[in-house]
Structure formats: structure tokens, C-alpha cells
Amino acid sequence: MSDVKKASSALVSVFSKEGLAPLVQKLHDLGVTLYSTGGTQKFINDLGIPVVPVEDITSYPSILGGRVKTLHPKVFGGILNRQDHEGDVAEMNEYEIPQLDIVIVDLYPFEKTVASGASEQDIIEKIDIGGISLIRAAAKNFKDTLCVSSVDDYAEVLQMVTDGEGTTTLADRKRFAAKSFGVSSHYDTAIFNYFNADHEIPVLKVSEHKGQTLRYGENPHQRGFFFGDFDAIFDKLHGKALSYNNLLDVDAAVNLMNEFTGEAPTFAILKHNNACGFAQRDTMHTAYVDALAGDPTSAFGGVLIANGTIDKATAEEIHKLFCEVVIAPSFDDDALEILKGKKNRIILIQKEVTLPQTMVRTCLNGTLVQDRDNQTDTEENLTHATHTKPTDSELEDLLFASKICKHTKSNTIVLCKNKQLCASGTGQTSRVDALRQAIEKATSFNFDLKGAVMASDAFFPFPDCVEIADKAGITAVIQPGGSIKDQLTIDYCNDHNVSMVMTGIRHFKH
């Protein structure tokens, strides 16, 4: 039997009618008999196209409020029969089952209904039964049946049947079967995750049905892919395609800047997932200039992000720097014109969106899953550990430094002064090394650390860090506390007039 098959009939039963009209019109023009149900049947009739109600095949009406329409042997027999199987052919004739060569079905919008905050009853009613069964049946029998399971595929199918004058190839049908099982598995994953929202069942199901192939992974010899709806978070206005490493830096930038949403103009420059420049000022222009001053060397080739509009003055300064990506919630028109002056510079408008609350990464032969770190240190959760209390300005700087520290690779020490990142020590195996690295960097860029503050992502096991910080001019410290030797650190601070607050919250970032 030929791999090429000409369709003589199609079952069309969809929730969304968007883009459907040209396809059913073409199928009708090609002489394909159309079968349908309910709202889809009315839609096709209103186009002036003849359609056979499924009830005429099954001799049963739609029952139980529409819960049962297509679940019938004459429907599924028409889809699942093997056209080269003598027994199947005989039973099709015996039971007067019509052949169904094409099945066009989509599913009730379960995920959209959940996202809308609908009641549980409304959500349950959007669990598709007939549609999912039709998709699985048609995809299983791809040797004889074409399964079209998404409105996104209507244009391609229209072109395919137009070019083939109603015929499809085995390769096409198998490809669409794969797409269809992708649709059905994603749908079932969404339903399971709804019922298992608290992870009471220790099972991980992750499904992303949007994705793209990247130029490569972290290095050119590694393949790379991104699975997710990038366009739901950003409008990409300009520049080359984002790379694997770009995406990691953009993720780090967004998570960091989310800590400063709604605050005064704030600007960050990131390199290798860590902030190398960060400042908050009265204007975005000054915030950028002071962020760049934190480490103008590392800023080369970095990812830039602002928490507010980037104006012309800021854009003119940015344009002097080679950078990979610029992110902001908005750009003035004249600022965009300037930034687009570099053809490869990626410009992203960040939309207001809630990031996933569960974080996933591969580990060994399995997967690690954890809740997002949504704890932000505030004045209310601080414990004053020392006799000396931080001044109001020091307290502001401590909380400012703590937010940056939370989003910097461990072990880390962050030094700030006047809401500007002076330097950080990142990813060190020793907290003392992290501090020394930060002091050395700050000094190399001519920062005066007298009156600066220090943030640590975890407790100090010994008082050596506060001693080194004190001798560098640092006057206030924020740290989680919790070491069995906390008192030694507190004693040193008390003896040397250094104020220290404890948060009780550790912010490791491995």
C-alpha cells in the first residue's frame, strides 16, 4: 500500500475556531466529507459548507451536558481501523463505520482556565475527555490517519493539502503524530500538576511546548536549546539571537532587578550571572554611570538591566560600552534610536510577569527541585546583635547590599556604600577569600571603603572576616547568623565599634 494517501473524509471538533475557516473550506473544495459536533458543526454550516453531524453516525445525541459527544465505536472505529487489514475492512463494512482520514481536534483550555483563577468546578469541566481520546487514537493510527491537534498547525496543513491536492505522506502523518502526542502529554502534565500543586505525590512532571535551538550551549562544541515562552516575558526589539550564556545572564539580571521593582532608578551590570556594577540614584543616567564605575573592566560584554525607563542621556552613555544585552521595562524613542546603532546589541523590553515558583536543575542521573528563594531581608526581620546600631543610611545600605548578595554566587561578600556596589567577592571556596577579593577590587577602582557596609550570604564561622572588614574601614555588617561561634564575631564588633545585624535567613546561591 502506498505511503501517500488521499483524504476522503475529516472529523472536525474544536474548541477554538480561530484560523479554521480557510482549512475547512479547502477540504470541502477538495471533495472531503466533513463530520462535526456542536459548536464546530454550526461554525462550518454558517460558512455555507455542508457537514455531517456525528449524531448521524452514532445515532446518539450529545449527552451529559456535552461531556459525551464523540465517544462511540463508530467514531473511533473510523479513526483506528487499519486500511490494509482484511479483518478491519470487513468489520468496517459490517457495522457501517465511515472512514475518517483526517482528525482536526483541539483541547479545552485547561491551563488558561487555571491561570484565570476560575473555580475548581470550572477547572474540572475543562479537563477534555473526548478530544484527548480522539488525538491519541488518530496519532496512534498515523499510517492511515492525519491528526491535527493544534490551531498553530492549521496554516501548515492547509498548505500541505493544497500542494498535495488532498494527499498526505506517511512522513507527514508520522510528524503530526509526534506533535499530537506532544500536545496530549503536555495537557496531562498540566492536569497532574494542578492536582499535585503541593507536591504531595513525589513525582516530577515538566513540559514546555515552546522551544528553540540555540547556536550552541555554554561552548561551541555543546548543543544548546531553550524550552519556554520567551515572548511571554520579553519583547525583543533589536539585535542578534540570544545565546545559551546570554539567557543565563538575562535570567540572573531579571531575578536580581525584581528585588528593586518600584524603587528609585536602579541600574545593574552583570557578567557571568553576577552583578559587577550596581547603583540606585535619583536619575537613571546617574544610576548607570555609578553602576559602571563599580567595575568598568568587567562591564565589557555584559548584560545591562534597569528597573525603569532608559532615556536618551542614559542611552548615550550605554552606547559607549560594548554590551551584549540591554533590558528595561521601557525605552524612550530617542534612546532606542541610539541603542540600535549597534546591529548585534540585543534590546529587550521586560513585561510584568510572575516567574515560576519552582526551580529545576539536573543533578547526577536525576533532577533537583526547590522553591524559589522569595525571602527578601527587610528591616522588620533584623536582629541587632551589637551594642552599636547602624545609622539610618547604613541600614539602607545594609538592606541594599543584602539584596545584591542574595543573587551573587556563593561564597560571596558584597561591599556597598551610598547605594552603590563597591565590589563583591563571588564564588569563592572561602568566605575570607571572598572578602579579600572584594576589598582588592574596590581598592583597584578607587573606592573609599570608610563607612561602607558588608553583606555575607551565610554566617561567619570565625571573627576573621569582620576583623579584616573593620581594618578596611567597613562600619556595618549584615549576615544570617547561626554559627556556634557567633559570639566571637559579636564581641569583635562590640570591641571595635562595628554595628552588625542578623537576618536569620541564609541566601546560598550555588
Residues with a catalytic annotation lie at 140, 272
Exposure string of 231-246, with b = 16+ CB inside 10 Å and e = fewer, is eebbeeebbeebbbbb
Set of cell numbers at residue 220: 561551541
Set of cell numbers at residue 274: 553576577
Place of cell 577569600: 433
Place of cell 516575558: 233
Using DSSP bridges, classify how beta strands 323-328 and 274-280 pair: parallel, antiparallel or unpaired: unpaired
Set of cell numbers at residue 42: 454550526
Q: What separation in angstroms does the CA of 373 have from each of 7, 262, 356, 506?
A: 54, 20, 11, 10
Contact 458, 429 (CB under 8 A): no
The candidate with the shortest Cα–Cα distance to 206, out of 235, 225, 185, 221, is 185
Distance of alpha carbon 92 from the chain centroid = 48
**3-state helix, strand and coil shares in percent for the chain, rounded to the nearest 5:** 40, 20, 40
Contact 6, 166 (CB under 8 A): yes
Set of cell numbers at residue 318: 550605554
Cα 83-88-90 angle, rounded to 5 deg = 110
Set of cell numbers at residue 349: 523590553
Euclidean distance between CA atoms 225 and 214, whole angstroms: 5
Set of cell numbers at residue 234: 520579553
CB-side neighbour CA atoms (13 Å) of 62: 13
